[in-house]
Amino acid sequence: MSASATGESAPARPLTVLSEEEQMFQAAAREFATKEIGPHVEEMDRAGIFDQELIRKFFAQGYMGIEVPEAYGGSGGTFFMAVLAVEEFSRVDASAGVVIDVQNTLVSNALMRWGTEAQKKAFLPRLCRDTVGAYALSEPASGSDAFALETRASEEGDHFVLNGRKLWITNAQEAGLFILFATINRELGYKGITAFIIERETPGFSVGKKEDKLGIRASSTCELILEDCRVPKANVLGEVGKGYKVAIETLNEGRIGIGAQMLGVARGALEHAVRYAQERRQFGRPIAEFQAIQFQLAQLATDVEAARLMVYNAARLKDAGRPFLKEAAMAKYFSSQVAERVASEAVEVFGGYGFTKDYPVEKYLRDSKIGKIYEGTSFMQLQTIAKAILRLDART
């Protein structure tokens, strides 16, 4: 007799046991990443350019609108499924992981939560069909102190006129749509921050220099330039002066996506190390037969499992409508540490070969570094966690 038939509540499912639908989605994402993304990874990293044909495939397979309801052209999935896809893509290539991460956990997410019905109808189907999105908060002088941003939005009739510069904007090279934050009055502090939806073709808007980076080299990271860029008032996302809420709430969720990206990086690096340890022979036997290597791999696998539990827990809390702020910050903080540690030790398992570009592990190490920097540095995550456990906000 089932638990529900006896009136007992069903036993809770362990975090890493997926529903049938989630399992199928995960398996499809894994196969897609291995077969479709895998063959392009080395060349994309070398060239520092993301393959456009791959992005078309992301759209065709529904990975660019995972959580968007079917009524708006999306796949009608859950946040947890978006996290699974980011993890599986990042296991193969962290740049591919961040392309879909920004699209799903920041851009579509912000529109679904804050967009008017007209904005959702206008933009969500495009984001699911063929338009890459980007999320533009950071500026040259405001990173961690994001609400000290200087890009100005002045009211002129039924438009706002924007002037300023954004820096470090992921997906900017490919994007057709930008969620961009500006202030209507710097003296208002965070209460001046306003979110805008900006189309790439808007006069006065341009994409500037692309960064040449240590890791996630195929993912574009660019400057944005706004020179008398006229944005219709209908393109304000949320309320004027409430952009800080849009930013905080989307980034709280986005952080779980970065945790998933780092989990994928850690898993990918570990799998390579495990395989290599069984193939590489020294002293007449595979190096995996040395207890030192066994213990090293066992420790790394334990770290990956802990990161997985934290990321999945944060995503499940979000989908259940439960508080997740602290858990999301912890998941990102911890997973980015694990990714760096696993990738670094994977290089050591490969010995001298690991230090060359002929083997994949050095790329995992380079790609892992970004996890501690974007969507809030590790110190910013610790600040969020400390505030939560010490209840600092409640006392001030």
Interface residues with ligand FAD (CB under 6 A) are 102, 135-138, 143-144, 168-170, 213, 216, 221, 370, 373-377, 379-380
Pick between residue 251 and residue 287 the one whose CB is nearest to ligand FAD.
251
* Shortest separation between residue 55's beta carbon and ligand FAD, angstroms: 16
Cβ(189)–Cβ(147) below 8 Å: yes
Residue 142 carries which DSSP code?
A: B
Cβ(110)–Cβ(250) below 8 Å: yes
Cβ(73)–Cβ(124) below 8 Å: yes
* Shortest separation between residue 371's beta carbon and ligand FAD, angstroms: 10
| 375 flagged as catalytic | yes
* Shortest separation between residue 22's beta carbon and ligand FAD, angstroms: 27
* Shortest separation between residue 17's beta carbon and ligand FAD, angstroms: 33
d(CA 11, CA 289) in angstroms, rounded, equals 40
Pick between residue 360 and residue 376 the one whose CB is nearest to ligand FAD.
376
* Shortest separation between residue 207's beta carbon and ligand FAD, angstroms: 12
* Shortest separation between residue 188's beta carbon and ligand FAD, angstroms: 20
List, in sequence order, the alpha helices (H) in the chain. 20-32, 41-47, 52-60, 79-92, 94-101, 109-114, 117-129, 243-279, 291-319, 325-349, 361-368, 378-390, 392-395
Smallest CA-to-CA distance from 64 within 21, 119, 25, 102 is with: 102
Q: Are strands 221-232 and 193-199 parallel, antiparallel or unpaired?
A: unpaired
List 67, 87, 139, 375, catalytic entry = 375
Cβ(165)–Cβ(225) below 8 Å: yes
Residue 144 carries which DSSP code?
A: S
* Shortest separation between residue 374's beta carbon and ligand FAD, angstroms: 4
* Shortest separation between residue 200's beta carbon and ligand FAD, angstroms: 15
Pick between residue 273 and residue 325 the one whose CB is nearest to ligand FAD.
325
Smallest CA-to-CA distance from 253 within 339, 149, 329 is with: 329
54: which residues sit within 8 A by CB, 6+ positions away? 36, 37, 40, 96
**CA gyration radius for the chain?**
22
Pick between residue 137 and residue 246 the one whose CB is nearest to ligand FAD.
137
Q: Are strands 133-136 and 177-183 parallel, antiparallel or unpaired?
A: parallel
Cβ(183)–Cβ(226) below 8 Å: no
- Residue nearest to ligand FAD according to CB distances in the complex: 143
Pick between residue 167 and residue 314 the one whose CB is nearest to ligand FAD.
167
Smallest CA-to-CA distance from 259 within 341, 329, 342, 170 is with: 329
Pick between residue 41 and residue 258 the one whose CB is nearest to ligand FAD.
258
Pick between residue 75 and residue 250 the one whose CB is nearest to ligand FAD.
250
Q: In angstroms, what CA-CA distances link 140 with 109, 196, 220?
A: 25, 19, 17
Q: In angstroms, what CA-CA distances link 95 with 66, 87, 151, 179?
A: 18, 11, 28, 20
d(CA 225, CA 172) in angstroms, rounded, equals 11
Angle in degrees, 0-180, between the axes of helices 79-92 and 243-279, rounded to the nearest 10 = 40
Pick between residue 223 and residue 327 the one whose CB is nearest to ligand FAD.
223
Active site residues: 375
